[in-house]
Structure 1
Amino acid sequence: MIGAPAFAQTAPQPATSSAPSAKKPAHARHGAAKAAAPAASSGGTHVSVRPTAAPRAAAEALDVTASRHVSHGAEASISRAMLESQVAGTNILKSVGQLPGVSFSSSDPLGIDTWGTSVYVRGFFQDSIGMTLDGIPLNDQTYTSVNGVNIADAWISDDIQGVETSQGAGGVDLPGNSSLGGTMRFHTSDPKNKAGAKVSQVFGSYGTLRTYARVDSGALNQTGTKFYTAYSRSDERKYDADTPGFMQTVNGKLVQPIGHDSRITAIFNWNDAEVWGYADKSLSILKNAGWRTESWAPNYRGAYNASEYAWMNGDGNSGTCTPACTGPGAYDVGSGTPLVFPAGTTPTIPASWQNTNEGVGTAYYDAGQSTRDYLGGIDADLALTNALRWNTVFYAGAFDGHATYGDPWTQSPGTGAPLSEEVWQNAYRRFGFTSAFTWHVGRHTINVGGWYENNSQRAGLYWYNEPVYGQGTPLQTVGPYTTYGAAFQQGYGFTWNTNSFQFHVMDAWRPVEGLTVTYGFRSMLQTTSGGADYGNVDAGYGTGVGVKSGLPSGSMTSAAAFLPAVNLDYHFGRGHEVYFDFAENMRPFMVAPSGGSVSPWAVSSQHAFRELQRHLPNERDFTYVVGYRYTSRKLQASIDGYHSDVYNRLISASVGSLNNPITSVVNSKHAVMWGMDAALTLQPFEGLARGLAWTNSISYNHFTYADHVNICPLSGDCDIKGTKMLAYPQVMYKTSLSYEYKGASAHFDVNYYGKRYFSYMNDTHISPYWMANLGAKYRFGNLSVLKNVTLAFEVYNLFNQKYIAMMGENGFPIGGQSGDGGDYQSLERGAVREYFGTISAEY
C-alpha cells in the first residue's frame, strides 16, 4: 500500500513456515533510528545584526542571573552562568533541557553516549531542530547521523559562551536542513585579551574523571590578534558493568580584529569518542530480567555460552549445526563453516532470560561506538559602512563512525566461534558556506543571504571474526576489528551525495516605539542522489541493485520556493511584552541505510523506493505561537500557547523483537499539536536573601495523529488516527530553588516528566517520574598566583529514581492488532544516583 499513506516495509514479513528467518538482527546502532545576553531580535523569527558572530560584550565577565536564562519574545538566551551550573563536561543540551517545553534525557549523567541521549522541543525531536555553532549548521543531532554533528561532539562545553533558543517557529536566516520546530544557536567563547590558562578537574562516582585545560594567548599585537586552544578528556564507567565511556576533544579559536568593528575568526574542533553503551531494554526485559540487565562485556565466557545456547536451541536467527553442536567436526549446515564449542563453556542463558520475548537477544556481548568528528570554519564579519554589514562563513566537517554489537547468531568462519562482531560503518565529508548582508535603513533592518552545502555520505554493515573462547582476546566494541582477519561478510553498502541550497530575505521593522514586526521567507532546494551499491541477500539485505527486489538507489529532490515567517513583538508599560509568531517550514528527505530508520532509502526494495519517489511529499509544518511576558527584578512571569499542523511526517514502525524485525516507513499524513508553557520566577527579598530565587514552569502538549493511516495492513487494523505522540511527555513540571551570596551558591532542581507513550496504538507507555539534582559551589577568588579558584559539588538523581531515559532508539512498536504486544527492545534506563566534585582555577 504505497502512496498516501506511503507505506513501505524495510524487512520481509515472516514466512508462515517454521523455517528460520534470515540472519538479520536489525539493531539500529547504525544511526538515524531515533524518531530534542538577550539577542537583538524580535521573537521567534530571529533577526540578528551579526547572524553568526558570537556575543562580544563582556566576553571575559561572568554573567550571573537569578532566573538562569533570559527570555525575549519566543526566544530564550542561556548564559554562561547557567551552563556552569551543570557538572563540567556535561552535554550542553542538558542545560537547554531546563527550559519550559524542552525534554532532555540521557542514559549516562554527562550525556556523552549519544546513543542514549535525546532532546525534544515542544514535540519536535532532535532531528527536526535547527542548530548552528558560530553560524555553522550542525543539522541532525541523532546518533551517528551522516547529516550532521552532535553539539556534544562539535565543541567543548566549557568553551560555549551562550545559547539562543527559539521555541517558536525558528528563524528564516538560520542555515540548515533540519529546522522544523525551533532553533538553537550556540556561540563559542572568544579568546581573552590577557594571556592565561584555566584548568578544571572533575571526580565522580564509578571512576568518573574529567580533565579540562585551556590556554589563551592574549592580544599578540596592536591589531588585537588573539587565540586559545583547549583540551578535554572524559572517562566514566557504567554504573552496572565494568565497561567505560571515553571522550576527548581539542578545539581552538583565532580572532583577528579589522578596524574597530570588523573581524575574521577561525575555529577548529577534533573529537574522539569511544563508548561502551548501555544495553537496550524492553518492557518484557524490565519485567522478567530486571532493570540492571546489561551487556556481557567483559564476560566473554557468558556471551559465548549464550551463543552456544542459541545454536543448540534454535533461538533467534542462528543456523543449524551438525552432527552435534558440541561434537568434533561440528559445522553450520547452511554455510558449511566450522563451529567450536570448547571445554569450559556451557550452552546456557540466565533463567530469567527464558521468560523474555528476546531470549538470547536480551543482551549482547557488547554494544557501543567509536567515532571521530572534525569541524572547522572561517568567519568574516565585515562592516562595509555604518549601515551595511557582510557576514560570510566557510566551513568543512568530517565524520567516521563505527557502531557495534556482538552478534550471537552469526558464527565467525575464520575461527569457528559461534558469535561475531557486527559493525556499522558510517561516514560523511561535508563543506559549505553561508553569506548574508544586513542593512540598517530608517526603521528597518533588512537581512538577505544564502547557504550552500555539499555532503558526501556513506554507510556500510560488516561482520568480523571473534575468537574461540580461551584462544584469544575478544574484540572490543570500540575496535580494532581486524584482529582475526578482515570482515568476512558485508550486509549492505550505501553511498549518497547531497546538495543543499537555501536563500532568505527578512526585514525587522520598528514602526513605533516598543513594536518590532519581523517578516520574511526562505527558499530551499535539496537533491540527494545515490543509494545502495551492495546488498547481501544471504544476510537479509536485498538481491542486488537496479532490480525490482534490490535495495533502494536513486535520487530525490525537495523544493520549496516560499516558506514565510512573521513575528510581532510588542513591549508596553513597564516590563510587559506580548508576541506572536508564525512560520511554515519544510524538512528535506534525509538519508539512512536499511533498518529501523526514518528515510526513503531505508525501505527494503527498489520497487518500494520508486513508489516513494513518485508519491511521497516532504514534511511541512505550520507553527503558531502567541504569548505574554512580564519582567521585573522581583518577578518574571510568562505564558504562551502554540499550535502546529504537521503534514507528511515519516514515522518508523517496528514489529517484533531484534531476533525477527519488521520495520516500516510510514507517512502519517497529518498530525495536530496544541500546547502551552507557563513560567514564574520569584526573587522577592532584599539584603542577605536577595540572592534567593524560585523558578517554576509547567508545560502541556497535546499531539494527535489526525488522519486514518493503517500502519499494520498485513496483520490487521492499526489506525493511528487519534493516537498521541510517542516518547514526549504530555505534562512536564520543573522547579528550581537557588541561592547566591558573595562567592557561595547552591541550587536544588526537581523535574517531573509525565506519562510517555511507547506504542503507536498507545496501548503501552512509560510511567511518570520525578528527577532531582542538587548542587553547591564556592568561589574562593584569587589565591596567590591562581585566580577564580572554584570548588563545586553536584548530586545527580538525588533520590535514586528508577526511570527510563531514552525511548525509541531502535524504533517504536505498533501494538494493537500488529501482534507485537506493544513492546520492543528500544528503551534505555537512566543512571542511578551519582556524585561529582569539581575544582577549577585560572592563571
Structure 2
Amino acid sequence: MFPALRRCLRVHLLGSSAMLAGLGGGVAHAQTASVASPTPASTTARTLTTTAPETVSVYGQGSTRQLTSVSAKTIQAAAPGTNPLKVLAQLPGVNFQSADPFGAYEWSARLYIRGFAQTQLGFTLDDIPLGDQAFNNYNGLSVTRAITSDNVARANVSQGSGGLAIASTSNLGGAVQFYSADPTDKYGGTLEQTFGSNDTYRTFIRLQSGILNPTGTKFYVSYAHTDLDKWKGAGYNESDQVNLKLVQPIGGVSSLKLFFDWSALKQFDYQDESLDYLQTLGGRVDNYYPDYTAAYHAAQGIYTHGETRSHDPLDVSYYAGTAKRQDFLSGLTFDTLLTNSLDWKSTIYGHGDNGYSTWTTPYTPSPNGAPLSIRTMQPAITRYGLLSALSWDIGRHTIESGIWYEYDQFTESRYFSEAPLLGQGTLGDPNDHTPDHPFAVPWAEVWNTNTVQYHLQDTWRVLPSLTLNAGFRSLVIHTGNEATAQDPAYNGGAQIGTGALTASNGFLPQFSANWRFARHQEFFADVSHNMRGYPEDGYSTNSSNTPWSANETAFKQIQSSIKPETDWVYEGGYRLTTKPFIGLLSLYHVDFSNRLQTISFGPVINPTTAVQNVGGVTTNGVELSGTFYPVRHLSIYNSISYNRSTFDNDIATSSGVDNLRGKSIPNYPTLMYKGSIAYQIGRLDAHIDGNYYSHRYLSYLNDTSVPGYFIASLGARYVLGEHGPLSRITLQLNAYNLFNTRYVATTGENGDPISGDYQSFLMGAPRQFFGSVGVTF
C-alpha cells in the first residue's frame, strides 16, 4: 500500500472513524464509495461514486486481478446473523449451498468459486488465516464463528486467484478476505432484535467506548445470541458469540489493533438424502429425535415411518446427529510507517477450538444389548502464528516482502458409547453433555503441522495507464501424525495410517497487468501458479480429501508417491466503469494437476472412503456482469457465468477402469444467473434478488444429478431519525425463498460416488420470513 494512503488512513483513524464506517456501507450489494488516494493495482480495487443505490457493481477498477469488494451494508442487508459467505453468492461465478436460510448450519455450508470448492480457496480475517472452512476444520474455523456478521466492515473477493500475501495453504483458486470494523470515535451502542420463521430469536448488542483519552484509545464489545429451530424435524441451532476490538493510535503514524472472538454453538443435523429417499420418502424426511422408541425399533428392523418404501431403510433411520463447538480467536496487529516510503505491518494470533459431534448409529450395537450406539467425533485445535510484511515505495515501484509462520496441533478421536435399553432411559439431547464411558475407541490421532510462507512482489506503474505486477511465494507445509489409540475390531481389522507428508514449492509465481486504454475502460490479466497442502482428518472419514483417511498399508503405499494438488490459473477481462453503467467481461482457464477426490460408498454412518489422485482437471469459464443506473434511486444488476470443468484422465479402481475423462466435476452448476433490483429513496431502501443454478452432477461419471432451480429473496429497510436518546431506529424485513421453491441445496457433503445414487445431499429450506428492530444510541 502506498505511504500516501497509509498516512491518509492514519488521519482517518485518529479523527474520523465514523467516516470510515460510513464508507464501508451501501444499500444493497457492494461497496461503491470512492477511495481518496491511488493504491497498488495488484491488491486494491478503486470504486465509483454514485448517488444511486448500491448493487453488485464494484468489479475491481484498477486491479490487475478480478477483485470485488463487498461492503458492511451489503452484508447487513441480509437477515441479521446470515453467514457472510452466503451474501457473496450474488457475485459472478460464486455458488453458496446451505440447508438452512442463514447459512449457519456448518455441515451443509459450502462455497464454490469458479468450480473450486471452499477447501480449495483461501479465507482470512484481518489477515489471520481461517483455514479451509471445512466442517472438520483442522487449521481454522468458519467465518461465522470467527466474527459476528454485524462487525464485518467489508469482504474482498478474488474470484480467480488470491494475492501472494494471503495466509492460506488451500487457495488453489480464489480467496475471501474479511475485515473487522473499527470502533467509532463517539460513545454509543446498538441493540438489535430479530425474530421470524422456525421460532427464530436473535439478539445483538454492541457498546462503543468512543475516544477515551488524548492518545485516541477506543474499543467496542459486542454480544450476539441466536436461537432457531430446524425447518423440518426436531432440533435447534443455537449460538453465542462475543467480539471485542481495541484500537490504539501511536504517534500519528502507527496503530495497534487487538481483536478477540469467543463463540459457542450447538446444532442439530438435518437428514442427508439420496435420490431414492427423495423419491420414496419425500424432501421432509428427517431424523427421529426426540422419539427414541422409533429409533430403537428401526435399529431392530421394525420401521414405523414408511422407510421400507426405500431401497435401504436402515440408512435413513437415525435418532439424531449433533455438533457442539467452542472457539477462542485473538489477533494483535502493529502497523507503522518506518520512513516516508517504508511501511511495516505485523500480526500475531492464536486460536483454540474444542467440541464434539455425535451420530446415533444402528450399525454398531451397544454391549448392553441395545441395537444402536452413539458415535462421537471429538476434534480440537491449538494454533498460533505470525505474519510480518514490509512495503517499500520507490519511484514507480511498490515492493512488498513478507513471511508467515504457523504451528498447528490438531487432535481428533472417534469413540462409541452405549445407548440405554428401551424402557431404561433415552438419549435425550446429545448436546447437553459429552457422551462418556465409551465401550470402544476405534482411533485417536494427533497431527502437528508447521507452515512457512515467504512472498515477494513488485507493483510497477509503468505509465499512468499501465500497471504491472510480478512476484512469487514459497510455501512449505510439513505434517506428521501419530495414533494415540486404535481398536482394529472397530476399524475393519485394519491399522490406521500414520506418517509424515510435506507439501512444498519454492517458486509459486504470479504475474498480472492492468491497462487503462481509454477513459472508463481497461483490460486486466493475471497468471498464477498455486499449491494446496494436504488436508487432515481421521481414519475412514469422508469430509475432506485427506490421505490420512486410508489404512496403514494404503497410506504407506502412497506416502512416497503422492503429490500435492497444484494448478495454473489464467484470467483476463475487460471493465467499463461509468456513472450510468458498470460492466465486466471476464474469461478464465485453469489447468489443475494431481486432484485428490474422496470417493465414497456404503452407509453414510460408516462409509468406505478412498482418496484418489484423479489426475488433471481442465476448467474454462466466462462471466458477464453489469449494473445499470437508469434513473436516480434505482439500480439493476445482472450477471451470467458459464463454467466447464472436466476430468482429464480415466481412473483405475478395484472394479476396473472408469471412464472419467471428459466428465464434469460434481456439485458445481455449469450455468448461473444472478439478478438484483435495488431502490433507495430517503430513509427507505429495498431490494429483490433472484438466482438461477443449472443442474449439478452427483457422481463422477455424471449418471446422476439434481435439477436446476431458481430462488428469490426480498429485503427492505426503513430508518427513523432521532427519537429522544436514540439516534436511529431501524426496521428491517427479509423474505427467503420468496416463491417457496423446492430444491436440493447442498450436494456432496458425504463425498461423491463413482456412479449411481448416494446419501449425500440436503434439501433447501422453504419460504422464510424474518423481521428486525434495531436502535442506535
Q: TM-score, normalised by structure 2?
A: 0.93
Q: How does 1:195-274 map to 2 (within 5 A)?
A: 195-274=187-266
Q: Which runs of 5+ in 2 are unaligned?
A: 27-31, 33-53
Cα distance in 2 for residues equivalent to 1:678 and 1:245:
37
What displacement does 1:617 show? Answer: 1.1
Cα distance in 1 for residues equivalent to 2:597 and 2:359:
25
What displacement does 1:54 show? Answer: 14
> Could you tell me whether the CA contact under 8 Å between 1:656 and 1:813 is conserved in 2?
no
User: What does the per-residue CA deviation read over 1:329-350, in whole Å, with 9 as the maximum and x for residues that have no partner?
Assistant: xxxxxxxxxxxxxxxxxx3343
Cα distance in 2 for residues equivalent to 1:410 and 1:187:
45
> Could you tell me whether the CA contact under 8 Å between 2:123 and 2:131 is conserved in 1?
yes
User: What does the per-residue CA deviation read over 1:395-451, in whole Å, with 9 as the maximum and x for residues that have no partner?
Assistant: 0001113111111232333x5432221111111100010000011111111100000
Cα distance in 1 for residues equivalent to 2:10 and 2:551:
46
Cα distance in 2 for residues equivalent to 1:599 and 1:735:
34
1:680 aligned partner: 626
Instruction: Please state whether the residue corresponding to 2:287 is helix, strand or coil.
Output: coil
Among 513, 520, 525, the residue aligned to 1:580: 525
Matched, 1:778 2:718: yes
Among 260, 264, 277, the residue aligned to 2:269: 277
2:303 aligned partner: 348
Matched, 1:726 2:679: no
Instruction: Please state whether the residue corresponding to 2:74 is helix, strand or coil.
Output: helix
1:533 aligned partner: 484
Among 81, 85, 96, the residue aligned to 1:104: 96
Matched, 1:840 2:774: yes
| Deviating more after overlay: 462-471 vs 751-760 | 462-471
What displacement does 1:542 show? Answer: 4.7
User: What does the per-residue CA deviation read over 1:582-611, in whole Å, with 9 as the maximum and x for residues that have no partner?
Assistant: 100001112111222444543432221122
> Could you tell me whether the CA contact under 8 Å between 2:55 and 2:676 is conserved in 1?
no
Letter in 2 for 1:385: T
Matched, 1:830 2:764: yes
User: What does the per-residue CA deviation read over 1:694-713, in whole Å, with 9 as the maximum and x for residues that have no partner?
Assistant: 10000000000112223xx2
Matched, 1:500 2:451: yes
Letter in 1 for 2:55: S
Cα distance in 2 for residues equivalent to 1:289 and 1:49:
60
In structure 2, relative to structure 1, the CA distance for the partners of 1:542 and 1:434 (3 Å cut) is farther
What displacement does 1:660 show? Answer: 6.6
Cα distance in 1 for residues equivalent to 2:391 and 2:713:
43
Cα distance in 1 for residues equivalent to 2:417 and 2:762:
26
Cα distance in 2 for residues equivalent to 1:70 and 1:53:
25
Matched, 1:604 2:550: yes
Instruction: Please state whether the residue corresponding to 2:464 is helix, strand or coil.
Output: coil
1:11 aligned partner: none
Cα distance in 2 for residues equivalent to 1:190 and 1:737:
30
What displacement does 1:492 show? Answer: 0.9
> Could you tell me whether the CA contact under 8 Å between 1:531 and 1:601 is conserved in 2?
no
Cα distance in 2 for residues equivalent to 1:287 and 1:798:
24
Among 418, 428, 433, the residue aligned to 2:371: 418
What displacement does 1:277 show? Answer: 1.3
Among 44, 52, 71, the residue aligned to 2:59: 71
2:678 aligned partner: 738
Cα distance in 2 for residues equivalent to 1:207 and 1:600:
38
Among 165, 169, 173, the residue aligned to 2:157: 165
Cα distance in 1 for residues equivalent to 2:219 and 2:558:
50
Among 553, 560, 567, the residue aligned to 2:498: 553
1:342 aligned partner: none
Cα distance in 1 for residues equivalent to 2:700 and 2:581:
42
2:465 aligned partner: 514
Cα distance in 1 for residues equivalent to 2:385 and 2:10:
17
Instruction: Please state whether the residue corresponding to 1:750 is helix, strand or coil.
Output: strand
What displacement does 1:152 show? Answer: 1.1
Instruction: Please state whether the residue corresponding to 2:536 is helix, strand or coil.
Output: coil
1:765 aligned partner: 705
Q: How does 1:58-137 map to 2 (within 5 A)?
A: 58-61=19-22, 63-64=25-26, 65=32, 66-72=54-60, 73=63, 74-137=66-129
Instruction: Please state whether the residue corresponding to 1:280 is helix, strand or coil.
Output: coil
In structure 2, relative to structure 1, the CA distance for the partners of 1:277 and 1:54 (3 Å cut) is farther
2:38 aligned partner: none
What displacement does 1:40 show? Answer: 8.2
What displacement does 1:49 show? Answer: 6.8
Cα distance in 2 for residues equivalent to 1:600 and 1:81:
38
Cα distance in 2 for residues equivalent to 1:801 and 1:599:
32
2:535 aligned partner: 590
> Could you tell me whether the CA contact under 8 Å between 1:379 and 1:394 is conserved in 2?
yes
> Could you tell me whether the CA contact under 8 Å between 2:123 and 2:168 is conserved in 1?
yes
| Deviating more after overlay: 141-150 vs 532-541 | 532-541
Letter in 1 for 2:470: Y
Cα distance in 2 for residues equivalent to 1:542 and 1:513:
68
Letter in 2 for 1:247: S
Among 601, 607, 615, the residue aligned to 1:655: 601
User: What does the per-residue CA deviation read over 1:267-309, in whole Å, with 9 as the maximum and x for residues that have no partner?
Assistant: 1101101001111001111011111000000111111111122
> Could you tell me whether the CA contact under 8 Å between 2:125 and 2:177 is conserved in 1?
yes
Instruction: Please state whether the residue corresponding to 1:615 is helix, strand or coil.
Output: coil
Among 120, 127, 131, the residue aligned to 1:139: 131
What displacement does 1:747 show? Answer: 0.7
1:189 aligned partner: 181
Q: How does 1:358-757 map to 2 (within 5 A)?
A: 358-413=312-367, 415-482=368-435, 485-543=436-494, 550-595=495-540, 596-658=542-604, 661-685=607-631, 690-710=632-652, 713-757=653-697
Instruction: Please state whether the residue corresponding to 2:86 is helix, strand or coil.
Output: helix
> Could you tell me whether the CA contact under 8 Å between 1:54 and 1:134 is conserved in 2?
no
> Could you tell me whether the CA contact under 8 Å between 1:112 and 1:247 is conserved in 2?
no
Cα distance in 1 for residues equivalent to 2:11 and 2:131:
19
Among 719, 736, 742, the residue aligned to 1:796: 736
2:39 aligned partner: none
Instruction: Please state whether the residue corresponding to 2:505 is helix, strand or coil.
Output: strand
In structure 2, relative to structure 1, the CA distance for the partners of 1:69 and 1:210 (3 Å cut) is farther
Instruction: Please state whether the residue corresponding to 1:179 is helix, strand or coil.
Output: coil
Cα distance in 2 for residues equivalent to 1:654 and 1:40:
50
Identity percentage over the alignment? Answer: 36
Instruction: Please state whether the residue corresponding to 1:428 is helix, strand or coil.
Output: strand
> Could you tell me whether the CA contact under 8 Å between 1:130 and 1:170 is conserved in 2?
yes
Alpha-carbon RMSD: 1.9
User: What does the per-residue CA deviation read over 1:451-475, in whole Å, with 9 as the maximum and x for residues that have no partner?
Assistant: 0000011111011222223322424
Cα distance in 2 for residues equivalent to 1:709 and 1:40:
50
What displacement does 1:646 show? Answer: 0.1
> Could you tell me whether the CA contact under 8 Å between 2:647 and 2:660 is conserved in 1?
yes
> Could you tell me whether the CA contact under 8 Å between 2:587 and 2:621 is conserved in 1?
yes
What displacement does 1:786 show? Answer: 0.7
Q: TM-score, normalised by structure 1?
A: 0.85
Instruction: Please state whether the residue corresponding to 2:111 is helix, strand or coil.
Output: strand
User: What does the per-residue CA deviation read over 1:26-75, in whole Å, with 9 as the maximum and x for residues that have no partner?
Assistant: xxxxxxxxxxxxx989xxxxxx979x999967223263252345221310
Among 282, 290, 293, the residue aligned to 1:290: 282
In structure 2, relative to structure 1, the CA distance for the partners of 1:54 and 1:136 (3 Å cut) is farther
| Deviating more after overlay: 141-150 vs 206-215 | 141-150
Letter in 2 for 1:720: L
Which is higher, the Rg of structure 1 or of structure 2? Answer: 1
Cα distance in 2 for residues equivalent to 1:130 and 1:441:
30
> Could you tell me whether the CA contact under 8 Å between 2:10 and 2:253 is conserved in 1?
no
What displacement does 1:530 show? Answer: 1.4
